[in-house]
């Protein structure tokens, strides 16, 4: 896996473009009080978003492989950071909102546990510095 992150230049304040090995680009920026222009998410927001994407991917895939009628999955993450540098995540709460038809709570809970304990590399790495908690709700679709 590869990624190149390039500072756009002094005219752009603290804006950076990340180009991934799979050929995608994303702009990141800093807060105005840190010299940024608020043109994109902060790097730590990207880390949090990537973690949410990683675990949501796992949960959907696990439920689909189990032949459960999953039709949607949303993960809201709330993170707390250390007060001093390095300002690592110290607690991250994951709230899953899983949609489907006749989804069993045990199946959803198992998918989340498998993601948390075995498959989601991002949340497992973050778990080295942060307490990870989670809960979920199931939304029945007709």
DSSP secondary structure of 21-32: TTS-EEEE---G
Alpha-carbon Rg for the chain, nearest whole angstrom, is 18
How many domains, in total, are found in the chain? 2
CB-based contact 39:15 (threshold 8 Å)? yes
Higher local confidence (pLDDT), 108 or 13: 108
As a whole number of Å, the end-to-end CA separation of the chain is 41
Residue 47 has pLDDT above 90, yes or no: yes
**123 and 73 in one domain?**
yes
Instruction: Please state, as a whole number, how many other Cβ atoms lie within 10 Å of the Cβ of residue 67.
Output: 8
- For residue 122, the domain's CATH number is 3.30.300.20
**113 and 58 in one domain?**
yes
Residue 10 has pLDDT above 80, yes or no: no
**75 and 134 in one domain?**
yes
Q: pTM here?
A: 0.92
Q: What is the pLDDT of residue 142?
A: 79
The tens digit of pLDDT for each residue in 17-29 reads 999 999 999 999 9
Q: What is the pLDDT of residue 12?
A: 72
Residue-averaged pLDDT of the chain:
96
Q: What is the pLDDT of residue 91?
A: 98
- Band of residue 116 on the pLDDT scale cut at 50, 70, 90: very high
């Amino acid at each position: 896996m590869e990624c190149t992150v390039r500072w756009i230049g002094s005219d752009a304040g603290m804006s950076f473009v990340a180009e991934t090995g799979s050929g995608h680009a994303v702009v990141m920026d800093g807060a105005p009080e840190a010299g940024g222009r608020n043109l994109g998410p902060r790097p730590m927001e990207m880390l949090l978003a990537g973690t949410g994407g990683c675990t949501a991917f796992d949960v959907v895939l696990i439920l689909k492989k189990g032949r459960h009628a999953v039709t949607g999955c949303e993960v809201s993450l709330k993170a707390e950071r250390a007060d001093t540098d390095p300002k690592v995540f110290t607690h991250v709460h994951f709230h899953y909102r899983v949609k489907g038809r006749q989804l069993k709570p045990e199946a959803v809970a198992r998918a989340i546990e498998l993601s948390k304990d075995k498959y989601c590399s991002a949340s497992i790495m973050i778990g080295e510095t942060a307490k990870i908690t989670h809960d979920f709700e199931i939304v029945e679709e007709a």
